[in-house]
Structure 1
Amino acid sequence: MDPTSAVTELTESELLELRKSDAWLPSEATRRCLVEGIPGPETLPCLQASDVAMGAALGPNNAQDPIRSLLARCYNSESKADNQRLVITADMVSQDLDGLMQLLKEHWYHAALVLTHRLLTSYGHGFDKVGQTSARLTPLTAQLWLLRLSLLKRTQQYALMNQELEAFGTLDYPDVYYEHAPHLYPGRKGSMVPFALRLLYAEAPRFIERQSEALDRLYFLAAVVARLISNLENGYTEDGSVVCPNENYQKTSLVLWRHRECRIYSCCLSIYLVANDYPSAIETVYRMISRLEPFGEHHFLYGVLGRIYLKFGDLESAERMFEKALEGSPADAPSTRSQRSMYSAMLLIADGRFNEAKRLFREVFDSDPSNVAAANNLAVCSLYLGQLEEGISLLELLTTPKPPVLGSPQPTPPLLPLHDSIVSNLAVLYEVESDRAASRKLHLLERLASVPGERLHARAFKLPLT
């Protein structure tokens, strides 16, 4: 596939749909470059030199698989780890986008990273390709970069993620806009950099202890989105250049950009909660409510507010928010009853009434064994009530894959979708329960090593990583 090939056969309706999602407002300097045809600086992202090893063939047992690596460390034996866990590598799939999609579908994230490295290198983004024409960003390579950087975030390689993002500059050079190359992208408007990549660029510093910088970037992003929304509300297209083609275009684009605005504020909220900055967190949630209320999609955010109030002991406000979260929900619907029980149980825990809370969490879990929050809270209540073995038994049940179906080479999925918090809480209960915690955690690791893919972070097992 040629990443520089032009898209030339789009209909007018297709161009309008793409315009909504691609819309962005360049800085004044960049806008002048686009209007006057001035080249301006180029966006030439490249893979880091320290990352070259990702492109190497690592053999049938990829040492970068975190679960296998942890097994090898615990056993002090590579071969024993290989016998315990089958790892899929980038070498085992086709070296193209189809192979990449296969790895992602099966949750082999490190192998997918290796393949993104190879594909981006083939498109001119390798370390030794810096400055070459072929390394210019295209719609295809922009999507590949988004995928790669998202995988670096998923695998918690935050330093490398930030290093590779630096090569993108501010994501505002003229060549990231379709108008820069109308001969390649006739009729296209806006930015070939996906919004999700701009959001990732904005929040990235928070993962390397630069929260203030992340907030500055996020609020700048929010300000640009607010201008886009203002243009739409005034009857113009996102960039304010022409009148909206029709009412449906205006409505659907407004919904899209209001949701994107809330994604930005959600990132800000995460930063405030980690910092225990509850006033800023509450203000941010109310801002999100005001954006989603016109669409009737805001009620769940009152539940978020309730949990924030619980964090600093304001039970009265929390209860009021939980009630607002359920307003408009069908009272007899199973989902409403389940959510009401969850909210009531949270209030009971905050009030130290663990027996009553446990009963409610048990009701929720029995009706929906996939409810991770109910399972975790059941275990917490058991711990506080001195019923440690009951809590351990519950979490062990949820982390034990079912026996393989006759004739099937792989186990069926576990009873509960795997989640780091379930494994981490079970490891903590082992530590509280006995001095045999290390061996029990190793048995837990061995149990879950049979589940294919990277569905858990290795640190969830609370075993030594080095």
Structure 2
Amino acid sequence: MDPPDTEQTVSLSTAVADDESSDSSPTSPFSTLNDLCYELSSLHDLATRGSWRSILDKVARARNHSLLSKPHEHLTYLAYNSLALVKLRRFADAAAEIDSLDDDLDSPHYRYESYVQHYSNRHGSMVPFVLRWIHAEIPSKLGKQQETLDRLYILLDFVRTELNKKMSNNLNVSIDLWRQRENFVVNSMICHHLGRKEFGVSLHLIRDMMIRNGEVKDPNPVSLSKLGYIQMQYGDLEGAKETFDRIESLVEGKEDVEMKNMVSRNKALVYLVGKDYVSAVKEYGECIERDESDVVSINNKALCLMYLRELSGSIQVLEKSLERVPVMALNETLVVNLCSMYELAYVNHSDTKKTLSNWIARVAPDDFDSSCTRI
């Protein structure tokens, strides 16, 4: 049985959304994605819908028919192809794509000014940011955790160098973008350090990020929530409670559902640690009433009910969520837990899981791991 989830981490799609090409100039002459790269809007739409196999087909056709005419288009398509392979868990193939590049992503080979015949007015790196991130992350998918951490620290240095350049030139739009990238990389590093139970390093990283974001006097509740979660894992329960209380005072009186649910989930997490499952169920239930697509609360309410030996109730919570919001609730952790509950509750659980698996096959995106039903 998978343990309860807490807060959702920064997703890869967040990094992709604004990174179809590298930031190369303060202003852009392009009005659409297709102006920037061959049929880029189509690739972006497929990625948004989770149609990763279609992306592989589209990239293969473009390469086979020599439809990519400029150097940056090859890099953009390679980035989407690598991302699709990672999403489909074809990590060795994704690594092979990455290995086709020069070891130095800052090589002149990947700069606009090296191709004046194509880019008379552009300068800077043409390497999409998401490609740099995949380059850093892919070793961990092949069992090389330390190599990924090493590359993430190098990537963080690169991001901060670019951020300092934008700040010195007062390029506000670019500053916001590179600040988002900095936070994204730091959150990735925190996830890896937490996985290695390096809680002290994780605390240092989250606190340093908050200082850099100017959150000492005006903290972001989301950052504080992550801090509290790390404190709790570190064993500092009282420190975590203080952090969570601070969040509650910051969002008090606000009508933001997401913020209210964050407060309730934090309270529930404290109850979980104290094995007060009844109170945790109440908090998660209030979250679901406010937002029926809150997958973390749905999953954790079901697990708390199971801990209370209310197995039929926990199954009902998960099944109802799949009926109400199938796309939002179709989460691998949730499905794993539901199948585990079927195994505990039903003698003929194989038939029940097969029915679930057939439904998943009809509605799930390409990157959903259907093996989580354990049929």
Task: Report SS of the residue matched to 1:450.
Answer: helix
Percent sequence identity over aligned pairs: 24
Report the Cα offset of residue 377 of structure 1: 0.8
* Distance across 2 between alignment mates of 1:394 and 1:454: 25
Report the Cα offset of residue 167 of structure 1: 1.1
* Distance across 1 between alignment mates of 2:219 and 2:367: 30
Look up the equivalent residue of 1:331 and give its one-letter code: G
Q: TM-score, normalised by structure 1?
A: 0.67
Task: Answer yes or no: is 1:275 the counterpart of 2:285.
Answer: no
Distance 1:116 1:337, change over 3 A: same
Report the Cα offset of residue 301 of structure 1: 1.3
The count of aligned residue pairs is: 341
CA contact 1:282–1:305 (8 Å) conserved in 2: yes
Task: Answer yes or no: is 1:300 the counterpart of 2:222.
Answer: yes
Task: Report SS of the residue matched to 2:65.
Answer: helix
Task: Answer yes or no: is 1:377 the counterpart of 2:320.
Answer: no
* Distance across 2 between alignment mates of 1:343 and 1:326: 9
CA contact 1:206–1:271 (8 Å) conserved in 2: no
* Distance across 2 between alignment mates of 1:209 and 1:183: 42
Task: Answer yes or no: is 1:310 the counterpart of 2:232.
Answer: yes
CA contact 1:370–1:416 (8 Å) conserved in 2: yes
CA contact 1:424–1:461 (8 Å) conserved in 2: yes
Which one of 57, 74, 78 corresponds to residue 114 of structure 1? 57
Distance 1:186 1:271, change over 3 A: same
Larger helix proportion of the pair:
2
CA contact 2:277–2:307 (8 Å) conserved in 1: yes
Look up the equivalent residue of 2:307 and give its one-letter code: Y
Which one of 92, 113, 120 corresponds to residue 179 of structure 1? 113
Report the Cα offset of residue 103 of structure 1: 4.2
Which one of 347, 357, 370 corresponds to residue 445 of structure 1? 357
Matches within 5 A, 1:341-380: 341-380=264-303
Q: Which runs of 5+ in 2 are unaligned?
A: 1-23, 30-37
What is the match of residue 11 of structure 2?
none
* Distance across 2 between alignment mates of 1:375 and 1:18: 43
What is the match of residue 386 of structure 1?
309
What is the match of residue 66 of structure 2?
123
Q: Which entry has the higher C-alpha Rg, 1 or 2?
A: 1
Task: Answer yes or no: is 1:319 the counterpart of 2:244.
Answer: no
Measured against aligned partners, the alpha-carbon deviations of 1:106-152 in whole angstroms (never above 9, x if no partner) come to: 43322321222222333389xxxxxxxx7xx7122211111111111
Measured against aligned partners, the alpha-carbon deviations of 1:258-307 in whole angstroms (never above 9, x if no partner) come to: 22111111221121122222112222211221222369673311101212
Greater alpha carbon shift after TM alignment, 102-111 vs 280-289? 102-111
What is the match of residue 340 of structure 2?
428
Task: Report SS of the residue matched to 1:17.
Answer: coil
CA contact 2:110–2:127 (8 Å) conserved in 1: yes
Task: Answer yes or no: is 1:191 the counterpart of 2:113.
Answer: no
CA RMSD of aligned residues (A): 2.7
Report the Cα offset of residue 99 of structure 1: 5.8
Matches within 5 A, 1:69-88: none
What is the match of residue 320 of structure 2?
397
CA contact 1:282–1:308 (8 Å) conserved in 2: yes
Which one of 151, 172, 182 corresponds to residue 261 of structure 1? 182
Matches within 5 A, 1:128-139: 138-139=71-72
What is the match of residue 154 of structure 1?
87
* Distance across 1 between alignment mates of 2:114 and 2:249: 49
Q: Which runs of 5+ in 1 are unaligned?
A: 1-13, 20-94, 126-133, 236-243, 403-412
